[in-house]
A = this chain, B = another copy of it.
Amino acid sequence: DGGRTESLDYEVIENFAYREEQANRGRLFVMYQVAVKWFFALLIGIGTGLAAVFINISVENFAGWKFSLTFAIIQKSYLAGFVVYILFNLLLVLSSVYIVTQFAPAAAGSGIPEIKGYLNGVDIHGILFFRTLIGKIFGSIGSVGGGLALGKEGPLVHTGACIASLLGQGGTTKYHLSSRWLQVFRTDRDRRDLVTCGCAAGVAAAFRAPVGGVLFALEEVTSWWRSQLMWRVFFTSAIVAVVVRTAMGWCKSGNCGHFGSGGFIIWDISGGQEDYSFQELLPMAVIGIIGGLLGALFNQLTLYLTSWRRNYLHKKGNRVKIIEACAISILTSTISFGLPLLRTCTPCPEVDPASGIECPRSPGMYGNYVKFYCSKDQEYNDLATIFFNTQDDAIRNLFSAKTLHEFSAQSLLTFLVMFYTLAVVTFGSAVPAGQFVPGIMIGSTYGRLVGMFVVNFYQKLNIEEGTYALLGAASFLGGSMRMTVSLCVIMVEITNNLKLLPLIMLVLLISKAVGDAFNEGLYEEQARLRGIPLLESKPKYEMRKMTAKEACGNRKVIDHTRGGGTLVIGLMLRRHSFSEFVKPVSSRGLSIEDIHLSSDDLEMYIDLAPFLNPSPYVVPEDMSLTKVYNLFRQLGLRHIFVVPHASRIIGLITRKDLLIEE
């Protein structure tokens, strides 16, 4: 059960032990620490980059084998091909759900809400364990390779965060992979920076979008930021880009099987429509509205379904989770294979041989115009082009320029309804799952649909349906995840088209506004459902009228400051420099049960006063809750004490007092 949450404390506890440690540290240690930070940033980049490459190679190869095998078999028998296709998918999904349920329960789902929670100050049990990392990597190979309606982006963010956190605590003690030498980061505060780097690295690796990764970490995930950190995060993202690029260059010569044919830019549309006329703004606004509505609906449906799953289905144990995932896999395979069969083929259009587009495409190649269950030679099946394909290739086909009228409205509508349903149903099953790629799929389908109408309506203009598909993708993600700047930049980086930025923005502004009218963003909704108490950046308006005293109710506080002397030993677990008791993030570490005390020991007293925080942040009782909230949120505190007005004032610190020269 991943529901156990614990607050993190990003405050520095300036107890006796901390001060002693500080006093012993020389300038050299500080420099060593800075060097280690940069070294870790490098390692996080390399690790996340390699993990992404590994996942990509595996997924592409599984998918490649699957489709080439199926295509080979269906030349003889469609039924045999269907069975092989279903079994192949089922096997992959089964492996994924087995790994997750048996070995790494925290690896299920996207992981972004949990990481967001971690950076906001809530630790969810198991979320950064070593086994979660392993489960996430292998689980997402199975789930994505198995053709489910989910993506690998969320899991990659989680993977990056796990790598960062494991590095931060110098390895994992449970599997004896730790190094004392690297354990310079003992507090939550230090690890937070590394996890932020890891998130950015994950996005950078998933979309090969370094700037987008930085902005995603900054806008969507983290609650706390400094400009020095930004540079380190950017460095990590760039390392990821270099690693992925180098690996892709190496794969290009055929070292990685089916992987390596595409360029660095995932869905390059830089050759597409560059300019737009004012008449087009109306259909684009319509796309924004559709995106907002469908996105909000997606959030709401997944919320109901996940809450039902949590409260009923998944309570019945792992067996049910496995059966559920397998059922979804069979359903997905059946629909994606069966529906194109029902569709009659379309004759190939005249294609310019110079454009490099073939119709029908040659077997075993990627591209538009798939021939599937067609009687004539010069025909293609437009539904199979998007449905019976990997999601990456389907999106490439939907975004493609110079392929006007490739898809029929009927196919796109069928696909939209089916895939939307599948995405909703798949969300929340016990496999690693990202929502970016399914979101792009859904969005680009209705985007292309709108584009088709626009092409027919404004016949004179130079319009590409692919551009509308891109805008549709942006609108759905905006309507569901409510990301803004980072989403714009990610869309620009994955399509390599800077000139569409204002249009993407327009669409996002609308879809976010429409979505916000109905519910919260996907990650916030999911975090709430999972019991992760996120503190938003803005305090609620009601807080202006509440005071600190009202908020703290009348719970009794044991005031230790005066008594000194003994305390419950449990408090020690939180303290700073008892290195055995350092709170580990990704393994269990020692707990109070591991300590065996004889009856003599129990007679003894320890003075814990030196380990208490002597100077916590305090607020006067009549301060408004808004100000308390700001203090709490901005400084990442775990608790704050409400005190009466000071009896006297010792002094005043102004800006000038803080400008000391070194």
A positions within 8 Å CB-CB of B? 7, 11-12, 14, 22-23, 30, 121-122, 210-211, 214, 218-220, 225-228, 230-231, 234-235, 238, 241-242, 245, 264-265, 484-485, 488-489, 492-493, 496, 498-499, 501-502, 505, 509, 533, 535, 537-546, 548-549, 551-555, 557, 559, 561, 614-632, 634-635, 638-660, 662
Contact = CB atoms under 8 A, between A and B. Distances in A.
Question: Of residues A227, A230, A235, which shows the largest number of chain B Cβ atoms within 10 Å of its Cβ?
Answer: A227
A656 B489 CA distance: 35
Given A12-B624, A211-B492, 11 more contacts: A7-B654, A12-B627, A234-B505, A241-B502, A548-B653, A557-B649, A557-B652, A615-B619, A621-B651, A634-B635, A642-B653
14 contacts: A121-B655, A211-B485, A219-B230, A227-B537, A231-B484, A241-B501, A264-B499, A541-B662, A553-B651, A621-B651, A631-B631, A641-B651, A643-B648, A647-B647
Contacts of A635: 630-631, 634
Contact of A653 (B211, B231, B628): B628
Nearest to A651: B552
Contact of A557 (B545, B626, B651): B651
A644 B502 CA distance: 55
A649 B655 contact: no
A186 to B, nearest CB: 16
Contact of A555 (B14, B264, B644, B651): B651
Question: Of residues A23, A557, A646, which shows the largest number of chain B Cβ atoms within 10 Å of its Cβ?
Answer: A646
Nearest to A226: B537
B658 A632 contact: yes
Given A650-B644, A651-B553, A228 B660 contact: no
Contact of A652 (B505, B615, B639, B656): B639
Contacts of A630: 635
Nearest to A12: B627
A568 to B, nearest CB: 16
B649 A559 contact: yes
A639 B653 CA distance: 6
Contacts of A543: 660
Nearest to A528: B659
A342 to B, nearest CB: 42
Given A234-B484, A241-B502, A660-B542, A653 B22 contact: no
Contacts of A641: 646, 649, 651-653
Contacts of A492: 211
Contact of A657 (B122, B551, B559): B551
A268 to B, nearest CB: 11
A627 to B, nearest CB: 6
B651 A639 contact: no
Given A219-B227, A501-B211, A538-B226, A614 B621 contact: no
Contacts of A653: 548, 551-552, 619, 628, 632, 639-642
Contacts of A638: 654-655
B644 A22 contact: no
A658 B619 CA distance: 14
Nearest to A7: B655
Ranked nearest first, the 7 interchain pairs of A and B with the lowest CB-CB distance are A552-B651, A643-B646, A615-B623, A642-B651, A231-B484, A238-B505, A634-B634
Given A501-B211, A632-B653, A615 B626 contact: no
Contacts of A546: 660
Contacts of A642: 649-653
A641 B658 CA distance: 13
A544 B24 CA distance: 13
Contact of A644 (B540, B648, B652): B648
Given A634-B635, A652-B640, A502 B620 contact: no
Contacts of A121: 655
A269 to B, nearest CB: 13
Contacts of A12: 624, 626-627
A23 B22 CA distance: 48
B650 A485 contact: no
A615 B625 CA distance: 11
A662 B520 CA distance: 14
A226 B623 CA distance: 22
A658 B629 contact: yes
Contacts of A544: 22
A647 B648 CA distance: 11
Question: Of residues A245, A533, A535, A649, which shows the largest number of chain B Cβ atoms within 10 Å of its Cβ?
Answer: A649
Nearest to A630: B635
B646 A646 contact: yes
A654 B622 CA distance: 17
Contacts of A235: 505, 509
Contacts of A542: 660, 662
Contact of A627 (B14, B498, B548): B14
A505 B235 CA distance: 8
Contacts of A218: 218, 227, 230
B655 A623 contact: no
B646 A618 contact: yes
A529 to B, nearest CB: 14
B655 A30 contact: no
Contacts of A484: 230-231, 234
B559 A648 contact: yes
Contacts of A11: 627
A647 B650 contact: no
A336 to B, nearest CB: 34
A449 to B, nearest CB: 26
A543 B12 CA distance: 13
A549 B652 CA distance: 9
A501 to B, nearest CB: 6
Nearest to A493: B498
A502 B245 CA distance: 10
Contact of A238 (B14, B238, B501, B540): B501
Nearest to A626: B12
Contacts of A220: 227
Contacts of A265: 498
B646 A549 contact: no
